[in-house]
Amino acid sequence: MSEDNAREIVLSLEIDDPALAARLATLLGNVAGLRLAAPGEQATATIVSRDMPEDIALTQRELDVLALMAEGASNKMIARQLGISVHTVKFHVGSLLDKLDATGRTDAVAHAARRGVIEL
């Protein structure tokens, strides 16, 4: 294997905490083979660290339903998957809309993803 692809690695930062961002920039600035991305530059990889707002208190069952919702499952499919009735699914979906402050299931999944409750 040649090492021609072993070019300089360019990293971009997406850090909410300014102090942490500064420390990382300092530390990484002195590493050979590494470079921080210029503004707008295409980076090899991105370092991400988001401030966690407050995590929402979701029950296990709500998390089950939410995960399936994010997969695009209908209430009927969720009911089959979890072995419960459609009514119960709707019940949990209703709770999720409430807790996630969403207007519909699409909004709920979007909010949950934004808040890191689920991973897309």
Partner DNA sequence: CGAGGTCCTGGCCATCCGGCCAGTTTCCGG
Partner DNA sequence: CCGGAAACTGGCCGGATGGCCAGGACCTCG
Least distance between its own copies and beta carbon 91 (Å) = 18
Among 10, 28, 37, 97, binds DNA (CB under 7 A): 97
Least distance between its own copies and beta carbon 119 (Å) = 10
Task: Say if CB 78 and CB 36 are below 8 A apart.
Answer: no
| Residue 116 binds DNA, judged by CB under 7 A | no
- 93: partner contacted, choices DNA, its own copies, none (Cβ within 5-8 A by kind): DNA
- Amino acid 28 reads L
- 91: partner contacted, choices DNA, its own copies, none (Cβ within 5-8 A by kind): DNA
- 38: partner contacted, choices its own copies, DNA, none (Cβ within 5-8 A by kind): none
- Other CB atoms within 10 A of residue 87 CB: 9
Least distance between DNA and beta carbon 72 (Å) = 8
Q: Which long-range contacts (CB under 8 A, 24 or more apart) does 94-99 make?
A: 95/59, 95/62, 96/58, 96/62, 96/65, 96/66, 96/69, 99/56, 99/57, 99/58, 99/62
